[in-house]
Structure 1
Amino acid sequence: MSITWMLRCGVAAGVLVPVVLWADGATRPGYSLWHHGASQLGTGERAWLQTANFLLGALLLGLFAIGLRRALHAGRGATWGPVLIATAAVGLAVAGLVPTDPALGYPPGQPEGITAAGGVHQAAGLALFTGLSGAAFVLARRLGAAGRAWARYLRASGSLVIIFAFAAGIAYRLDTLGIWRPAPAGLLEHLALLAGFCWIIAVATGLLRHPADMPTEPAKSGV
């Protein structure tokens, strides 16, 4: 597979995962985009759809990581950027294969509690968000050479992924304690994913449209 097609896989992953999540969440009986986490769409009715979404998204994201590694060749960010994206891909795949525990009343009628499978799913989510955020910061240093706007955008995106994910965890805890019901844990988690996948689309598109303007090779110092 050519570099071009692997970079296009990044665009495909960035569009596919959030769109399917939002479309399914908006039409799933008993599910609230405001209240319930994205991973909870992997349980209950139509759970198979999100399992397929996560696995296909992980495959596309993994291919994008390979294409990005080849496009960057060597130098700053050429190793750790793709590695962190691959980490996010693995996290997404595991999250698809190991469903989360029922929580916040979804799926309806299911007993809530913490299981070993739920712990594995949480670890996978941590890998996903860490990978999406960390890769943005790493690539900000490399692609920032093409313009300060790239550096600012990627750093902002990396920050938003962590801020939204962390806020979602706090909102979830406040909800389970009965302090804030219904808290926007679901909306915040969806926004964290959206911030991460949007920068994936932006970088992939930038490399596809203007490869000559992007710093894909390490700069050589003059004598």
Structure 2
Amino acid sequence: MTATQERTAGTTLGVPTVAATPTTARAATAPHSRHGTRALLACATVAAPLWATVSLVQAATRPGFDLTRHPLSLLSTGSLGWLQIANFLLAGVLTVAGAVGLRRVLRGTPGGTWAPRLVLVNGIGMVAAGIFVLDPADGFPAGTPAGPPSALSWHGSAHLAAGSIAFVALIAACHVLGRHFARTGHRGHARASVAAGTALLLGNGWAMSGGAGGSLTLAAGAITAMLWISAVAARYRHHA
């Protein structure tokens, strides 16, 4: 392949083709490397749908839980709390693995350094949010007094810190991917990336301000942004 052909090989959704550089060309010729990248991207592809499905099913079925008043993190409390703890841990680990896959396919592209790093931080934050459990509050689990806890435990504080870091990283990742797609000529994907990050930014801001239904807006924003990362990983996996 000539230098001209290499320059015109093109990209798909901003993913360099295997002829983009000698390094990527060599990597593409090794089936185990290509398959490994696809497996890592598959992890990110399933992370958000898994987390959202398990969370929302519990929200709809666990007695006393009200998504307009209770954050999804409260599902980690009570006798069935282990389900949501495992949900956080598994989705976080899958996201971390997916970040490695994104680093491989985004290498050398605009935003290709920071987007995977931010997704990695988001995954680590999810793992930490699973390890450190939020305190029971506002009547959930059943028997808990109404209103916020009188004092936050150390693990409750750690959960809030982990969640904040995870959300900030996820918002930033969506916006960096927006820049990536805009620079690579995929403006529809750029707008979707920015919209997903903004949905979480606004949803979290409304929840932090104490607005009515803040837990619902936070859940909607978080799930929207997470699903977008999964969608991006799925598209890159298709072309890896």
Place the TM-score, normalised by the shorter chain, in its bin. Answer: 0.7 to 0.9
Could you tell me which residue of structure 2 aligns to residue 158 of structure 1?
Answer: 197
Could you tell me which residue of structure 2 aligns to residue 45 of structure 1?
Answer: 79
TM-score normalized by structure 2?
0.79
Q: Is 1:130 aligned to residue 159 of structure 2?
A: no
- Are 2:203 and 2:214, in contact at CA under 8 Å, matched by a contact in 1? no
Deviations 1:168-212 (Å, cap 9, x if unpaired)?
Answer: 1223xx6xxxxxxxx31321121122111121122012212345x
Q: Percent identity?
A: 35
Could you tell me which residue of structure 2 aligns to residue 190 of structure 1?
Answer: 219
Unaligned runs of 5+ in 2: 1-34
Deviations 1:133-170 (Å, cap 9, x if unpaired)?
Answer: 10011111112214110111101111111110111122
- Are 1:154 and 1:199, in contact at CA under 8 Å, matched by a contact in 2? yes
The secondary structure found in structure 1 opposite 2:155 is helix
- Are 1:3 and 1:67, in contact at CA under 8 Å, matched by a contact in 2? yes
Match of 2:66, as an amino acid?
Answer: S
Q: CA deviation at 1:109?
A: 2.4
Could you tell me which residue of structure 2 aligns to residue 17 of structure 1?
Answer: 51
Structure number with greater Rg is 2
Matches within 5 A, 1:194-213: 194-210=223-239
Match of 2:138, as an amino acid?
Answer: L
Q: Distance in 2 between matches of 1:90 and 1:164?
A: 21
Q: Distance in 1 between matches of 2:82 and 2:60?
A: 16
Match of 1:193, as an amino acid?
Answer: A
Could you tell me which residue of structure 2 aligns to residue 31 of structure 1?
Answer: 65
How many matched pairs?
A: 201
Could you tell me which residue of structure 1 aligns to residue 28 of structure 2?
Answer: none
Deviations 1:16-46 (Å, cap 9, x if unpaired)?
Answer: 0011000011100111122210110011131
Q: Distance in 1 between matches of 2:157 and 2:56?
A: 24
Q: Distance in 2 between matches of 1:193 and 1:18?
A: 9
TM-score normalized by structure 1?
0.85
Q: CA deviation at 1:8?
A: 0.9
Runs (4 or more) in structure 1 with deviation over 6 Å come to none
Q: CA deviation at 1:103?
A: 1.7
Match of 2:189, as an amino acid?
Answer: W
- Aligned-CA RMSD value: 1.5
Unaligned runs of 5+ in 1: 175-182, 212-223
Could you tell me which residue of structure 1 aligns to residue 29 of structure 2?
Answer: none
Match of 1:115, as an amino acid?
Answer: S
The secondary structure found in structure 2 opposite 1:2 is helix
Q: CA deviation at 1:57?
A: 0.2
Q: Distance in 2 between matches of 1:60 and 1:44?
A: 25
Q: Is 1:117 aligned to residue 155 of structure 2?
A: yes
- Are 2:138 and 2:144, in contact at CA under 8 Å, matched by a contact in 1? no
Q: Distance in 1 between matches of 2:45 and 2:154?
A: 34
Q: Is 1:102 aligned to residue 102 of structure 2?
A: no
- Are 1:38 and 1:189, in contact at CA under 8 Å, matched by a contact in 2? no
- Are 1:77 and 1:141, in contact at CA under 8 Å, matched by a contact in 2? yes
Match of 2:155, as an amino acid?
Answer: A
Deviations 1:54-90 (Å, cap 9, x if unpaired)?
Answer: 0000010000000000011224212211111111111
